[in-house]
Amino acid sequence: QVQLVESGGGLVQPGGSLRLSCAASGSTSSSYAMGWFRQVPGKEREFVAAIRWIDGITYYADSVRGRFAISRDNAKNTVYLQMKNLNPEDTAVYYCAIGPSLIIRVPSNYDAWGQGIQVTVSS
């Protein structure tokens, strides 16, 4: 079983940057993907970005493309989400997840989730 632990969230001003980290422990597979989702109260969990572990191919939501970058460190079993030019609409609880490299953008594709971390963009 895989455990995921997120870190790096917090409060940032509009236009600022944050980097989220997600460390995976336990049994993982190179055929998997790791993704980032976000959720605000009253709304469904929203796909943000994902990366395929075996080849590093990345996927982004249109709302974050060009501002966010997902990357991985194979040796550390860690995935990162570098977020730049943040705006108040990016405020949410961010979750990382791991699952098969199948339906990358759909939450139900993923087998395990982190506990979530708050990102607040406000002046």
pLDDT, tens only, 62-71: 999 999 999 9
Structure-token pair, residue 19: 């980097």
Nearest-angstrom CA–CA distance, 11 and 5? 19
Q: pLDDT at residue 112 above 90?
A: yes
Structure-token pair, residue 59: 């996927």
Structure-token pair, residue 72: 């991985």
pLDDT, tens only, 20-49: 999 998 877 777 999 999 999 999 999 999
Percentage of the chain beyond pLDDT 70 is: 100
Percentage of the chain beyond pLDDT 90 is: 85
Cβ-in-10-Å burial (0-12, 13-18, 19+) of 99 comes to buried
pLDDT at site 70: 98
